[in-house]
């Protein structure tokens, strides 16, 4: 029997990952005691890993499937197949500087002010590649240095040919680095509270990141593994889609049925069934939550007996099979 090796993230994404797996119908045991939690699907083998490592390990085929942040997929440039945005673990990567720097409200301000005064710029970051690319795309940086790569400094190696702008690898507590160790940070934030507590202000958003389901490209070509991976995708995508929709049931008189159907969106087409009274019909469908509030006045005027459920999952199986 072929097992699909599934790497799931430890740390800040861990609890939400177990939550979405359980909402998808999986049962997971031992997540608090082991890096190898058990799951109720005998064809899946779970392993808890740091999200930073997961994209590379999936791209190399050590794992067939993984959940990690979009930030680490981009940072590692991993050649993986992105299957689904799981839409949890939402964070921003921002540029931040000390709050009392009133004349610095953008990366361009920082670079222009420092470089025109003959000062070098030091930036602390955990995301070396994302940071270097973002700085190189800044118009002020390009005006001063063209295509020169900013210097990147780690304990093991240095690269880049522009010491005027240096990126120092941070091993954590990045927000505590300014002003002694760094002039600015490029760091991840969820609420901004940690930046505020360290007297920093965000001056630019570099990118947003959420948890994504990714697969090894060779595993997707293996018939047995592909089918199991698509099963996982269908169930997790169903949770994501289900959280955005409501399932509604209404009773409607025959004379109002056509008018209601014209106003009523559906996942495909609504289900219509006659009731015991031949003058009445039952209509049920799945609609977007935002749309539901817009069509509620129409439903109130044309129908009766409205029942609303929030579905655990909505499985758009045709979308998964096309992967």
- Residue 185, both tokens: 């940070």
Please determine, looking at this structure, whether the domain spanning 4-89+210-241 carries the CATH number 3.40.190.10: yes
User: In which band, very low, low, confident or very high, does the pLDDT at 126 lie, cut at 50, 70 and 90?
Assistant: very high
Which residues, including other chains, have CB under 8 Å from residue 44's CB and lie 6 or more apart?
3, 4, 6, 228, 232
> Which pLDDT does position 273 carry in this prediction?
92
> Which pLDDT does position 218 carry in this prediction?
97
- What is the rounded distance in angstroms from the CA atom of residue 127 to the CA atom of residue 97? 17
Span 245-321 CATH architecture: 2-Layer Sandwich (3.30)
- What is the rounded distance in angstroms from the CA atom of residue 116 to the CA atom of residue 207? 28
**pLDDT tens column, 52-96:** 999 999 999 999 999 999 999 999 999 999 999 999 999 999 999
Contact in structure between 141 and 167 (CB atoms under 8 Å)? no
> Which pLDDT does position 323 carry in this prediction?
64
> Which pLDDT does position 207 carry in this prediction?
97
- How far is the CA of 297 from the CAs of 253, 256, 287, in angstroms? 17, 14, 15
Angle, helices 14-23 vs 223-242, to 10°: value is: 90
Give percent of the chain with pLDDT exceeding 90.
71
**pLDDT tens column, 224-268:** 999 999 999 999 999 998 888 888 889 999 999 888 888 877 656
**pLDDT tens column, 158-173:** 999 999 999 999 998 8
> Which pLDDT does position 74 carry in this prediction?
97
- What is the rounded distance in angstroms from the CA atom of residue 97 to the CA atom of residue 171? 18
Per-residue pLDDT averaged across 169-186, rounded?
92
> Which pLDDT does position 190 carry in this prediction?
87
Per DSSP, the three-state class of 108 is helix
- Cα torsion at 93, 170, 183, 156 (round to 10°)? -130
Averaged pLDDT of the chain: 92
The secondary structure element, H or E, covering residue 260 is helix 254-263
Per-residue pLDDT averaged across 260-281, rounded?
83
**pLDDT tens column, 27-38:** 999 877 789 999
Per-residue pLDDT averaged across 193-221, rounded?
96
Where are the domain boundaries for CATH 3.30.70.120 in the chain? 245-321
Per-residue pLDDT averaged across 88-115, rounded?
96
> Which pLDDT does position 244 carry in this prediction?
85
> Which pLDDT does position 243 carry in this prediction?
87
Where are the domain boundaries for CATH 3.40.190.10 in the chain? 4-89+210-241, 92-209
Looking from the CA of 298 toward its CB, the CA atoms found within 13 Å total 15
Rama region for 250: left / alpha / beta (φ>0; ψ in -120 to 50; rest): beta
Please determine, looking at this structure, whether the domain spanning 92-209 carries the CATH number 3.20.20.105: no
pTM over 0.85: yes
Query: How far apart, in Å, do the first and last CA atoms of the chain sit?
Result: 23
Buried-state track 203-221, b at ≥16 Cβ within 10 A, e below 16: bbebeebebbbbbbeebbe
């Amino acid at each position: 029997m072929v097992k699909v090796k599934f790497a799931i993230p430890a740390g800040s994404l861990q609890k939400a990952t177990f939550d979405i797996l359980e909402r998808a119908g999986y049962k997971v045991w031992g997540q608090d005691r082991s890096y190898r939690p058990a799951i109720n699907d005998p064809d899946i083998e779970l392993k808890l890993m740091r999200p930073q490592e997961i994209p590379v390990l999936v791209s190399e085929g050590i794992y067939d499937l993984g959940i990690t942040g979009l930030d680490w997929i981009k940072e590692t440039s991993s050649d993986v197949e992105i299957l689904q945005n799981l839409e949890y673990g939402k964070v921003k990567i921002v540029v931040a500087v000390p709050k009392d720097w009133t004349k610095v409200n953008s990366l361009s301000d920082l670079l222009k002010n420092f470089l025109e005064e003959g000062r070098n710029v030091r930036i602390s970051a955990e995301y070396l590649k994302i940071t270097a690319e973002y700085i190189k795309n800044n118009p002020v940086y390009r005006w001063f240095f063209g295509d020169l790569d900013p210097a990147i400094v780690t304990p093991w190696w240095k690269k880049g040919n522009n010491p005027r702008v240096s990126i120092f690898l941070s091993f954590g507590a990045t927000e505590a680095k300014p002003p002694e160790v760094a002039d600015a940070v490029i760091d991840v934030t969820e609420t901004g509270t940690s930046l505020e507590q360290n007297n920093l202000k965000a001056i630019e958003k570099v990118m947003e990141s959420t948890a994504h389901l990714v697969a090894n490209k060779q595993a997707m070509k293996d018939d047995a593994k592909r089918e199991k991976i698509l099963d996982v995708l269908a169930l997790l995508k169903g949770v994501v889609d289900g959280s955005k929709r409501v399932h509604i049931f209404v009773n409607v008189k025959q004379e109002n049925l056509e008018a209601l159907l014209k106003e009523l969106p559906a996942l495909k087409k609504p289900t219509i069934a006659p009731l015991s009274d031949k003058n009445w019909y039952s209509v049920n469908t799945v609609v977007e939550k935002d749309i539901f509030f817009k069509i509620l006045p129409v439903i109130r005027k044309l129908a009766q007996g409205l029942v609303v459920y929030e579905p655990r999952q909505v499985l758009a199986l045709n979308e998964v099979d096309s992967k």
